[in-house]
Amino acid sequence: MFIRQNTIAELSSYTLAELILLFDEREARSVHHELFRHYFHLNRAELQLKRDERLSESQLLEIHHALKRLSGGEPLQYITGSVQFHGMELEVNTAVLIPRPETEELVSWLANYISHSGGHSPGISAILDIGTGSGCIALALKKFFPLAEVHACDVSKEALAVAKRNSSAQQLEIIFHHLDVLKEFATGSFDIIISNPPYILKSEMNAMQKQVTEHEPHRALFVPDEDPLLFYKRIITSSKKQLNAGGVLVFETHEKWNDDVAKLLVENGFSDVEVFTDMQDKLRGILGRH
């Protein structure tokens, strides 16, 4: 690392130049901003105001190690250990999927759907998030529906530990359950059941970015090629017994499975099926009313 004066300005220029070798310029600038925000608590304006301040050798090494990990394909969010989601800074590590913008959009779409359902929608008093991972969906829905009792479950104890720390840090009360949804289901009655289940075929693994396949938890991503709707089928049949009348079942989906999931919902007695389209105009979610 060729930094002569150890100033913020020098490190900033060096870091951006290294990042442009790894990403397109727009993404490089975004990663640059996040690194300086995370390690030095500096926003873009402060970077300019404090450009002549000197940094310690240990501070230079933090950025050096981060750049090395990025060049090895490790996701930025695992390096900083955090991600922004609905105004919350959440902890993430390799035990959980990195929350995507599309998931954030889905939660907003659901909250908007409920708020515009009027008298047709029940009061939201209980919510279940299946496969909670970092807890991002459960925590965001607790913010949208603060009076609701929010439950969240996951098969991974390591993921639940992350979700519990996020719940504590955000001071949002979530009731957590360690269970395998393919074998059992959380008890109770709910007005909303939501899930972003695994839906990527194992045979598609080689075509995916190594940044994902080499770092994110496979159990949260992949399903057997012979049964791609495995989780959807299980959750739909179980939800029929545990959704209150008028309650909604919501899934994040891959666009190629959306029609199949819609068919499953209708076959199992769900009505008012609606689809969610993300900012890239891709079908990424679906909702059915019990």
Regarding whether 119 and 67 lie in a shared domain, the answer is no
Q: Do 12 and 113 belong together in one domain? A: no
Instruction: Report the number of distinct structural domains present in the chain.
Output: 2
Query: Burial code of 104-130, b = ≥16 C-beta within 10 A, e = fewer?
Result: bbbbebbbebbeeeeeebbebebbbbb
Residues 127 and 164 in one domain: yes
Q: What is the pLDDT of residue 3?
A: 57
Task: Say whether both 256 and 169 belong to one domain.
Answer: yes
On whether both 255 and 217 belong to a single domain, the answer is: yes
| pLDDT of amino acid 2 | 53
pLDDT mean values, one per 10 residues, the chain (290 residues): 74 94 94 94 89 89 94 95 96 96 95 76 85 98 96 97 98 97 91 94 82 86 88 95 94 90 96 92 93
User: Does residue 17 sit in the same domain as residue 102?
Assistant: no
Q: What is the pLDDT of residue 120?
A: 44
Are 261 and 234 within 8 A, CB to CB? Answer: no
Domain that holds residue 16: 8-72
Same domain for 36 and 146? no
Instruction: Tell me, yes or no, whether 39 and 172 share the same domain.
Output: no
How far apart CA 179 and CA 155 sit, in angstroms, is 5
Judge if 149 and 242 occupy the same domain. Answer: yes
Same domain membership, residue 56 and residue 130: no
Same domain, 56 and 114: no
Say yes or no: 274 and 159 in one domain: yes
Strands 190-195 and 126-130: parallel
| pLDDT score, position 225 | 84
Answer whether 199's CB lies under 8 Å from 162's CB. Answer: no
